[in-house]
Chain A
Amino acid sequence: MTTDTKLAVKKVKFIITRQDDPESKPYIEQFELDYRPGMNVISALMEIQRNPVKQDGAQTTAVCWESNCLEEVCGACSMVINGKPRQACAALIDQLEQPIRIEPMRTFPVVRDLVIDRARMFNALKKVKAWIPIDGTYDLGPGPRMPEKKRQWAYELSKCMTCGVCLEACPNVNEKTDFMGPAAISQVRLFNAHPTGEMYEDERLDALMEDGGIEGCGNSQNCVRACPKGIPLTTSIAEMNKATTKHMFKRWLNV
Chain B
Amino acid sequence: MTWKGVHELMKGFYSRKLHSLLGVIPLGFFLLEHMLTNFSAVEGGSEGFKESVAFLNSLPMVLALEMFGIWLPLLYHGVYGMYIAFQAKPNNNRFRNERNLRYLLQRISGVLVFAFVIWHVYETRVQVALGNVTHEELGGVMHGIVTHPVYFILYLIGVISAAFHFANGLWSFLVSWGITVGPRAQRVSSNICMGLFVIVAILFTWSLFAFRGAEFQAEGTAWLEMTFRTLAG
Could you tell me if B176 and A176 are in contact, using CB atoms closer than 8 angstroms? Answer: no
A209 interface residue (CB < 8 Å to B):
yes
Residues of chain A within 8 A of B97, CB atoms compared: 221-222, 225
Chain B binder among A44-52, A57-65, A135-143, A243-251: A243-251
Give the Cβ gap from B81 to chain A, nearest Cβ, in Å: 12
Within 154-207 of B, Cβ neighbours of A (below 8 Å) are at 171-172, 175-183, 186
Could you tell me if B179 and A235 are in contact, using CB atoms closer than 8 angstroms? Answer: no
Could you tell me if A215 and B12 are in contact, using CB atoms closer than 8 angstroms? Answer: yes
How many chain B residues touch A (CB < 8 A): the figure is 32
Contacts A220-B103, A222-B100 hold; do A238 and B186 have CB atoms under 8 A apart? yes
Nearest A residue to B83, CB-CB: A176
How many chain A residues touch B (CB < 8 A): the figure is 39
Could you tell me if B91 and A213 are in contact, using CB atoms closer than 8 angstroms? Answer: no
Residues of chain A within 8 A of B17, CB atoms compared: 215, 248
Could you tell me if A169 and B99 are in contact, using CB atoms closer than 8 angstroms? Answer: no
B13 interface residue (CB < 8 Å to A):
yes
B231 interface residue (CB < 8 Å to A):
no
B117 interface residue (CB < 8 Å to A):
no
Could you tell me if A171 and B88 are in contact, using CB atoms closer than 8 angstroms? Answer: yes
Instruction: Indicate which residue in B3, B100, B180 contacts A238 across the interface (CB closer than 8 Å).
Output: B180
Contacts A169-B91, A212-B11, A215-B12 hold; do A241 and B100 have CB atoms under 8 A apart? no
Give the Cβ gap from A250 to chain B, nearest Cβ, in Å: 13
Could you tell me if A169 and B87 are in contact, using CB atoms closer than 8 angstroms? Answer: no
Instruction: Indicate which residue in B86, B171, B176, B181 contacts A217 across the interface (CB closer than 8 Å).
Output: B176
Could you tell me if A245 and B100 are in contact, using CB atoms closer than 8 angstroms? Answer: no
B26 interface residue (CB < 8 Å to A):
no
Could you tell me if A243 and B178 are in contact, using CB atoms closer than 8 angstroms? Answer: yes
Give the Cβ gap from A242 to chain B, nearest Cβ, in Å: 2
Could you tell me if B181 and A239 are in contact, using CB atoms closer than 8 angstroms? Answer: yes
Report the Cα distance A241→B173, complex, angstroms. 10
Give the Cβ gap from A221 to chain B, nearest Cβ, in Å: 4
Contacts A219-B175, A221-B99, A242-B177 hold; do A174 and B94 have CB atoms under 8 A apart? no
Report the Cα distance A238→B181, complex, angstroms. 5
B16 interface residue (CB < 8 Å to A):
yes
Chain B contacts to A: CB under 8 angstroms: 3, 7, 11-13, 16-17, 84, 86-91, 94-95, 97, 99-100, 103, 171-172, 175-183, 186
Chain A contacts to B: CB under 8 angstroms: 83-84, 169, 171-172, 174, 176-178, 209-222, 225-226, 232, 234-235, 237-246, 248
Q: List 5 A-B contacts (CB under 8 A).
A: A169-B94, A172-B88, A213-B13, A221-B103, A238-B175
**3 nearest CB pairs, A to B:** A242-B178, A220-B103, A215-B16
